[in-house]
Each structure stands twice: as structure tokens, then as C-alpha cells.
Amino acid sequence: MSAPESDDARPVAGTLPWQERNPISVAHRTTYTTRAAWTCEVESAWSRFAKFQLLNRLSWTQLGEALAILPAINTGEGIDLRAADAFRLTDLADTLHIGLHDIEHSFCTANRGDSLLDAASPSLRFCLTCASTGFHATLFQFTAFRRCPIHGCELCEACTSCGQPLAYRLGAGLVRHPYACPSCGRSLLAAASLRHLLANAGTETTGLDRLRAWHDYFFRYLQLLGPGRRRIRDEAGQYLPGDEIQACSDIPRRLAFIGELERHLRSPPELPSVDPVPGASARSGGGSRPAVRQPSRCAWAADWPHVDHTCVTLCAIYRKIRKNRVRRLARSIRPVQPEDGSVRHSPEFGLLLCDGNTSARSIALLGWRLTWERRFSIQTLTRCQGNYPPFGLLEWLAFMPAHLPPSVAPQEWLHRHFVHALGQTWNAWCAISSGMQENGCYVLSPLLFPARLLWLDFPDMHVPEVADPRTRVALHRETANDT
């Protein structure tokens, strides 16, 4: 097949304002019409592809080639746009004239086998106002979010004209009716106001920043959650149909609280970075054991080396430090308790809500206690495995295997790490609560700063013993092979 020249691209609804305003950028190889400046980094693949098709009006075969669909993919029923693995991403980024990073963020998950797929809807969820300007965010597809962070309005899940859901797929419907309902053809775009979002100063830029912040928070939190592989069989080992897989997945439920946070907070809570224990690598058996481990490899169910009398010792340390902290705080302010009248409960999402008049340090103390005390019971071990990770002290112990104590003086090592972890989580909660005070209210949950964060490493976190990025990549590889 020969790709069409840009001259051949049929004009689309010829008088749209952005067509005159922006000069057409022409690719060097194949000459598709693209408008890289007319997209933004948190925009969904569906939105990018639909606009590409609006500009180029290709046939299904041509579109498949332009968008670099992998040859092995069965396109009979179209392609699920939640997952990126049906495309050659470098070629796709090339066609659309955007960076690889941007294209990766256009998809909900890298792979159809990720259980994260279950957190995203198979049909389009859209904000009417955003869609009318030619914008749809990847984040809208996640069922945790019920509102558009830019406009605050409820997301639509069906065509406002015919009531049918719009399949979130690349298929014949999108080829025939780009940026429109495939059933009735009703366009989501308001032709008169079609313009590129980023060019608009003022409220929309602020709104877009807010959306981007939630996008970043959501995806960063996912690293922390490490959702793992999709469960595609039932208890008896039989394969489940697609919709049932999603229905029995607990991933949407575990992420639902983030959408609820967004209802109460203008900007997402901080996910503060933590500093490792000073001299940790030297004391933990030298440099041979990598200090970095992928979140998904921090298996919390398999290897819990210190769930024994050590728990009791560490719990005593915690109680002592808590007592001191409460006493110190109580000299100046009254620490807030979960039972207080000023605290509202949102049990469905496991959140505590407080108004912004409460002192931030008092909230920090409550949050810090949530991090360490929630679900510290043996039932966490026996009844909740597979659905819930452990919390608090057990969680801290469960995520330790990548950093096992040395054989010499292990108790001293554990003690030192634990006291450090208590200090780090206290600092983190102080940062989280003062950020929320600026938001005007507090939303608290142990999920906001889980104890496992002390053992996990994120690319932008501070890891002093491995400062050189090349060394860090090597370590990641070493960790990946270490199975």
C-alpha cells in the first residue's frame, strides 16, 4: 500500500478555524497531516487517533499502516485502545509527530495482560466540554474518576444523542465517524469552537495543569500498587469472559479512592520521596544486593522474614515514639482523633475528611498513625491475602525482602531502619497535610502514604548510593534477572 500524499488528503469540514491558523506540518517520510501542537501529553490515544483520521480520512487498511498496528494483531473487531501493545510505539510516535513518552501516556496500560486494564472502561468516558474542543484525556477512561478535573462536570458514558456507549476501540466506527458516535454519527466536536486546548490562556491552562497533576499522581500511585497480571481464570481454572474478568477484579475498587480524593482536593496530595537510612548499603551486606527493586517484585505474600517476636519489639518502639510525639504536640495543640466531631468518615472509600481549620501538624499525627496502625492484626495475614496488602508495621516488614538485614547484628539493623522509617513517614505526613491545608480541606487515608513506600524506589526519588543514572539502569537489569 502506498501512503497518501498530504495533497491527496481530502479536506475535512473545510472552514474549521484551526485549519487556517496552524500551518500543516508534513512528515518527512510518509506525508500524513498531523498537528503535533494541537495535542497535549495527557491526551488519550482515542482522541489523537480520531483527530488524525479527521485530518487524513484514510481507509481502514491505510489507517492501520499509518498507526503502526502490529501485523500479528487480530483487527476483526477493532483494537482495544486501553492497551498499547497492539502498536509499534516508535513508529506511531513518528507518524503523529509526538514523543514516545507522550504516546505511552496515551494508553491506560502497556499490556493487555496487566490487571490495570480492569481499572479502565472499555467504552469511551468523556467530558462534553473537553470533547467539544477536541480533547479527551487518558485519565477519563479510569472508572475511579467520575468527573473531569478541568471542568468539574460528570463524565458521560454514552452518546447524548442515541444513548449508545461508544466503544473505546480503533475500528470501522472510528474510520467512518472520527470524533463521533459510531452508531449515529453525531460528532462530539463543536465545529465552531474547535481549537487547540493549549493555545487558550487562563482557566483552561490552569485546568489542564490540574488534570496533568492528577494524571501524574494516578500513574505514580500505580507503581506503588504494582497491580500485577490480570486474573483471567476463575477459581476452577476456567477462562472467564472479558466483562466477567473486569467484574471480579479488585483493582478498580482499590483505586476508587483516588477519584474520591479528586472530588475533595483541587490538586493531588504529595507523594513525598524518602531518604534511605544513612549508610544503609554499607550495613546491609555491601553493594552486591541492589538497593532498587521493581514494585511488582516486592512480593508481600511470599516472604515475610520477621513476622515473629520482632513485630512485638518493633511495635513497642513505635508505641514509645508515638507517646512522645503525642505528648510534644499536645503541649501546643490538641491532637485530632478519628472520633472527633470535626472528622467525617467516608467508609466506602476508606477516607477521613476534616475541614481546613484544623492544625496541619495535628492532621500529620493522625495520618502518621494511619500509616502505622491500620490493620495491624494477624487477620491481615490470614484472611485478606490476595485482596489487600498488609498495612502498617506488617506491611513495612513484608516489603523488606529486597533489603534483608545482615546476618551480623540483625536486630540492631532492624531497629535503626525502623526508627528511620518512623521519622521519614512523619516528615512525609507533615508535607502532605500542609499541602492539603492550602487546598482548604484534609482527606486522610493510610493509602496516601503506605509503609511499603519506605522500601520502594521510584525513578525520580533520591538514591544517593547510586547517583549515576547508567548505574541505576544496570541495577534495574540485575534486579530483573534476579528471579
**Out of 69, 124, 159, 292, the residue judged to bind Zn ion by CB under 5 A:** 159
Answer for the pair 389, 398: CB distance below 8 angstroms, yes or no: yes
Give the residue with the Cβ less far from Zn ion, 175 or 463: 175
Of 121, 152, 140, the residue nearest 218 (C-alpha): 140
Give the residue with the Cβ less far from Zn ion, 182 or 268: 182
Q: How far is the CB of 97 from Zn ion (least distance, A)?
A: 25
Query: φ and ψ at 11, to 5 degrees?
Result: -65, 140
Answer for the pair 456, 224: CB distance below 8 angstroms, yes or no: yes
Q: How far is the CB of 135 from Zn ion (least distance, A)?
A: 8
Cell 502506498 -> residue: 2
3-state secondary structure of 438: helix
Q: Give CA–CA dist 20/24, Å, rounded.
A: 9
Q: How far is the CB of 191 from Zn ion (least distance, A)?
A: 17
3-state secondary structure of 109: strand
Q: Which stretch binds Zn ion (CB under 5 A): 59-67, 148-156, 288-296, 380-388?
A: 148-156
| Residue 162 interacting with Zn ion (CB under 5 A) | yes
Residues near 415 by beta carbon (within 8 Å), at least 6 away in sequence: 313, 314, 317
Cell 510525639 -> residue: 325
The region, left, alpha or beta by phi > 0 then psi within -120 to 50, assigned to residue 198 is alpha
Q: How far is the CB of 108 from Zn ion (least distance, A)?
A: 18
Sites for Zn ion among residues 169-198 (CB under 5 A): 181, 183-184, 186
Q: How far is the CB of 187 from Zn ion (least distance, A)?
A: 10
| Residue 282 interacting with Zn ion (CB under 5 A) | no
3-state secondary structure of 419: helix
Q: How far is the CB of 150 from Zn ion (least distance, A)?
A: 4
Q: How far is the CB of 181 from Zn ion (least distance, A)?
A: 3
**Secondary element (H or E) of residue 370:** helix 360-373
Q: Which stretch binds Zn ion (CB under 5 A): 159-167, 169-177, 316-324, 443-451?
A: 159-167
For residue 170, list its beta bridge partners.
79
Sites for Zn ion among residues 217-256 (CB under 5 A): none
Q: How far is the CB of 242 from Zn ion (least distance, A)?
A: 23
Q: How far is the CB of 157 from Zn ion (least distance, A)?
A: 12
Answer for the pair 97, 25: CB distance below 8 angstroms, yes or no: yes
- How many residues bind Zn ion (CB under 5 A)? The answer is 13
For residue 26, list its beta bridge partners.
33
Give the residue with the Cβ less far from Zn ion, 64 or 259: 259
Q: What is the DSSP letter of 34?
A: E
Q: What is the DSSP letter of 163?
A: -
C-alpha cell belonging to residue 272: 513525598
Q: Give CA–CA dist 273/284, Å, rounded.
A: 21
Give the residue with the Cβ less far from Zn ion, 58 or 150: 150
Q: Which stretch binds Zn ion (CB under 5 A): 152-160, 212-220, 252-260, 266-274?
A: 152-160
Burial of 462 (0-12, 13-18, 19+ CB in 10 A): exposed
| Residue 148 interacting with Zn ion (CB under 5 A) | yes
Give the residue with the Cβ less far from Zn ion, 268 or 276: 268
Give the number of other Cβ atoms within 10 Å of residue 17's Cβ. Answer: 13
Q: Give CA–CA dist 214/197, Å, rounded.
A: 18
Give the residue with the Cβ less far from Zn ion, 120 or 148: 148
| Residue 161 interacting with Zn ion (CB under 5 A) | yes
Residues near 30 by beta carbon (within 8 Å), at least 6 away in sequence: 3, 66, 95
**Out of 83, 139, 144, 150, the residue judged to bind Zn ion by CB under 5 A:** 150
Q: What is the x/- site pattern for Zn ion, positions 104-143, by CB under 5 A?
A: -----------------------x-xx-------------
Q: What is the x/- site pattern for Zn ion, positions 364-383, by CB under 5 A?
A: --------------------
Give the residue with the Cβ less far from Zn ion, 127 or 364: 127
| Residue 352 interacting with Zn ion (CB under 5 A) | no
Of 36, 13, 14, the residue nearest 23 (C-alpha): 36
Give the residue with the Cβ less far from Zn ion, 161 or 437: 161
Q: How far is the CB of 10 from Zn ion (least distance, A)?
A: 24
For residue 109, list its beta bridge partners.
83
Give the residue with the Cβ less far from Zn ion, 210 or 369: 210
Give the residue with the Cβ less far from Zn ion, 11 or 163: 163
Give the residue with the Cβ less far from Zn ion, 207 or 389: 207
Q: Which residues bind Zn ion (CB under 5 A)?
A: 127, 129-130, 148, 150-151, 159, 161-162, 181, 183-184, 186
